[in-house]
């Protein structure tokens, strides 16, 4: 009795090319979708951090009757920028929020002393816990992409709004062009230049592309832009 034999056939070149093409299409569709999902999560995480920090600054102002002195050195509407290139401002911000000193090199807390004590002379903690979600890998406060160029504005004259300085407004408009048409931004300009909050914190689109930071604002700037679309 003869045994039945099963002959296996390999893929032809055309079949392999078809499979490769299908895989390429799936990857082309999946990567932007995945990136969009990740960006949305990072935007939400960054906004949550900004909300916590803004709440701490508001508590500080209610308690003391004024905002941390280093935030009042520039005229209202000009942001103070935290980050690696502005370590004094970064250290002052943490001192004001936490009433403690933060060492970015050792990433450890220490007693608030020296000039930084001017930012929080009673060493009050207005913020609660700062977690690894608040910091980047190098010990600086950061957005969820790892960027440290964080802009902070406060209502210095206590009228419950902040009118952006011309340069700050232009920087925001330029960054928003990554998300909206120029005409939409121009039509919304009068509304977006006035922030109806006592504290505003934001980061802008990373033009270098090194980190991928997106526009994130602690206040709802998008409602004015979406109304003009």
Specify the 3-state DSSP secondary structure of 96. helix
Number of domains in the chain: 1
Give the confidence band of 77 by pLDDT, cuts at 50, 70, 90.
very high
For residue 25, is it within any domain? yes
Residues 6+ apart with CB under 8 A from 116: 91, 92, 95, 101
In a domain, 199, yes or no: yes
Q: The pTM is what?
A: 0.84
Q: Is residue 163 part of a domain?
A: yes
> Tell me, what's the pLDDT at 31?
62
Contact 215/205 with Cβ under 8 angstroms? yes
* Closest among 171, 174, 154 to 163, alpha carbons compared: 154
Please indicate whether residue 154 or residue 15 has the higher confidence score (pLDDT): 154
Task: Detail the DSSP E strand segments found in 29-178.
Answer: 80-82, 100-103, 108-111, 150-154, 162-163
Please state the rounded mean pLDDT for residues 61-84: 96
pLDDT at residue 124 in the model: 98
Q: How many CA atoms lie within 13 A of 60 on its CB side?
A: 32
User: What are 203's strand-pairing partners?
Assistant: 216
Q: pLDDT value at position 133?
A: 87
Least confident stretch, 12-21, 90-99, 134-143: 12-21
pLDDT of res. 2: 47
Tell me whether residue 102 is in a domain.
no
Phi, psi of 217 (to 5 degrees): -125, 145
Q: What is the pLDDT of residues 101-158, one digit of tens each?
A: 999 999 999 999 999 999 999 999 999 999 988 999 899 999 999 999 999 999 999 9
| 178 within 8 A of 215, measured Cβ to Cβ | yes
Residue 178 lies in a domain: yes
Structure confidence at residue 1 as a pLDDT band (50, 70, 90):
very low
**Residue 78 counted as domain residue:** yes
The answer to whether position 108 is within a domain reads no
pLDDT digits (tens, 9 = 90+) for 178-208: 999 999 999 999 999 999 999 999 999 998 8
Q: In the predicted model, is pLDDT for residue 7 greater than 70?
A: no
Residue 119 falls inside a structural domain = no
Q: What is the 3-state secondary structure (H, E, C) of 178-225?
A: CCCCHHHHHHHHHHHCEECCCEEEEECCCCCCCCCCCCEECCCCHHHH
Q: Is the pLDDT of residue 209 over 70?
A: yes
Residue 110 token pair: 């220490």
User: In which domain, by residue range, is 39 found?
Assistant: 13-86+135-226
pLDDT 10s digits, 21-67:
887 776 776 666 555 677 899 999 999 999 999 999 999 999 999 99
Does 82 score more than 60 pLDDT? yes
């Amino acid at each position: 009795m003869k045994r039945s034999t099963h002959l296996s056939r390999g893929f032809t070149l055309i079949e392999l090319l078809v499979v490769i093409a299908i895989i390429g299409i799936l990857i082309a569709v999946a990567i932007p979708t995945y990136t969009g999902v990740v960006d949305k999560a990072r935007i939400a995480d960054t906004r949550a951090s900004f909300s916590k920090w803004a709440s701490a600054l508001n508590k500080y102002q209610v308690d003391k009757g004024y905002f941390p002195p280093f935030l009042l050195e520039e005229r209202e509407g000009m942001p103070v920028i935290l980050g690696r290139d502005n370590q004094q401002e970064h250290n002052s911000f943490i001192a004001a929020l936490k009433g403690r000193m933060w060492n970015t090199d050792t990433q450890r807390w220490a007693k608030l002393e020296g000039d930084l004590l001017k930012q929080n002379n009673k060493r009050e903690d207005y913020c609660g816990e700062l977690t690894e979600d608040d910091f980047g890998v190098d010990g600086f406060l950061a957005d969820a992409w790892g960027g440290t160029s964080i802009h902070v504005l406060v209502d210095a004259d206590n009228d419950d709004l902040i009118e952006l300085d011309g340069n700050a407004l232009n920087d925001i408009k330029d960054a928003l062009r990554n998300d909206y048409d120029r005409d939409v931004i121009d039509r919304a300009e009068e509304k977006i230049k006035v922030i109806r909050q006592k504290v505003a914190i934001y980061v802008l689109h990373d033009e270098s592309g090194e980190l991928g930071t997106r526009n994130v604002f602690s206040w709802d700037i998008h409602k004015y832009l979406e109304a003009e679309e």
